[in-house]
Amino acid sequence: MTSTTTTKKPSTNLALCVTTDDFEAPAKEVLSEKSWVYVSSSASSGLSLKANLDDWSRINFRPRIMRSVSSINTNRAILGQTSQLPFFVSAMGTLGNAHPGAEPLLARGSTRKGLHMVVSTATSKPLEEIMDAHQEEQNILKNQSPSKLAFQLYVPVDRSKALSLIRRVKAAGYQSLWITVDTSVLGKRTADRYLQAQEALDQGAKERETAAENEFSPAFGGRPVPGYLDPGLSWEDLAWIKQEWSGPIVLKGIQTVEDVKIAVEYGVQGVLLSNHGGRQIHSAPSALMTLLEIRTYYPEALDKLEVFLDGGLRDGADVLKALCLGATAVGVGRPYFYAMAAYGMEGIEKCTDVLAEEVEITMKMLGVSSLDQLRPEMVNTTRLLNDMWRPEIVRPRL
């Protein structure tokens, strides 16, 4: 693979990064144009990404006062495993384009902070090397970190390759399998398309870049690879996957309450409400909107499986909005990509500290000392509910 990482240093001192948004500009400084386009781009005109970012601000808190918050507990159980915080690192592909340390570095940083991390099929490093980095960090910490690694699976057309990959994941010791279900085809990522067209005009080159050391990874920059994504993937495929994988299974990319109902019927342990960071279908619902659909039309799902969501989260306070509405935990993606690209391990740790502090501050101001005290009535969802999908009502003829 032709490296797109850089040793360039950002002009902004890490100390000045006091919100997760502050990592974006320094990352843009140090990343190549191709890497920046890859991580920042979205589908079509960007409506799905915009909804991800905007919908968090359409929910307000209803804080309670005069409740003792002198001691705060931010622990959260995720698929039976304790996490020190109610958020985790989302799956992100080809992290080697952000930093030469890539996924092993992010795994070490997550382990230090007691966070769970979902490792993408599209890794820049072998999945075994990433697990080794996690375990080495655990050894340094004398196994005091509750951090676990999960694996996000893209199912290829060739089932023998899929089985081989699942067996490697199992042998390496990953705790859960997160199956991506929203990529029957890659979305039209506009900025990537412009870049590809310009490259063709400038160079006449048709060479594609792939993630190093990983035959399962898609080509870098939104270029499809034949056989990598299976458009024939169906609910029935869960049967052979379960025969091979006995641990927890989460379906990643669910966007409607109807599919959550089917997921419950098929007995998976969790669903990740997600529109792939706004990078797949144009005009997708935000994960927060889908969570409201579940609360409104199928609230019992929240007792039958664990509900996660990701997309657009930039503030630790918003983690608590999702938890008030019944989510188990929230995934964070781009902020960690930007932080690692600009500042390496220090950026990973600082990004976690920023979000963790915001979670703690907001808990205290909400009047809760532990996450199990969060309730739906602590948030006002009226503005978002006004735009929520409603089933058609068939009225009798008079």
d(CA 75, CA 371): 8
d(CA 369, CA 164): 45
Tell me the sheet residues that pair with 87: 330
d(CA 101, CA 55): 33
Nearest partner of 257 among 309, 305, 292, judged by Cα: 292
| Sign, Cα dihedral of 13, 14, 16, 20 | positive
Residue set of the binding site for glyoxylate: 38, 154, 189, 276, 279
The per-residue DSSP string of 37-58 comes to HHHH--BTTSHHHHHHHHHGGG
| Residue pair 351/343 in contact by the 8 Å Cβ criterion | no
d(CA 117, CA 91): 7
Residues 6+ apart with CB under 8 A from 329: 76, 78, 83, 86, 87, 88, 116, 308, 319, 323
**Structure tokens belonging to residue 160:** 């023998």
Distances in Å between the Cα of 4 and the Cα atoms of 33, 225, 376, 390 are 9, 20, 45, 46
Q: Directed axis angle between helix 316-324 and helix 334-366, to 10°?
A: 70
Annotated catalytic sites, by residue? Answer: 276
**Structure tokens belonging to residue 177:** 């399998």
Residue set of the binding site: 38, 91-93, 120, 152, 154, 180, 189, 252, 274, 276, 279, 310-314, 333-334
Outline where 298-367 has alpha helix (H): 301-304, 316-324, 334-366
| Residue pair 42/189 in contact by the 8 Å Cβ criterion | yes
Residue set of the binding site for FMN: 91-93, 120, 152, 180, 252, 274, 310-314, 333-334
Nearest partner of 183 among 95, 248, 91, 116, judged by Cα: 91
Distances in Å between the Cα of 18 and the Cα atoms of 110, 179, 315, 339, 348 are 19, 34, 11, 12, 13
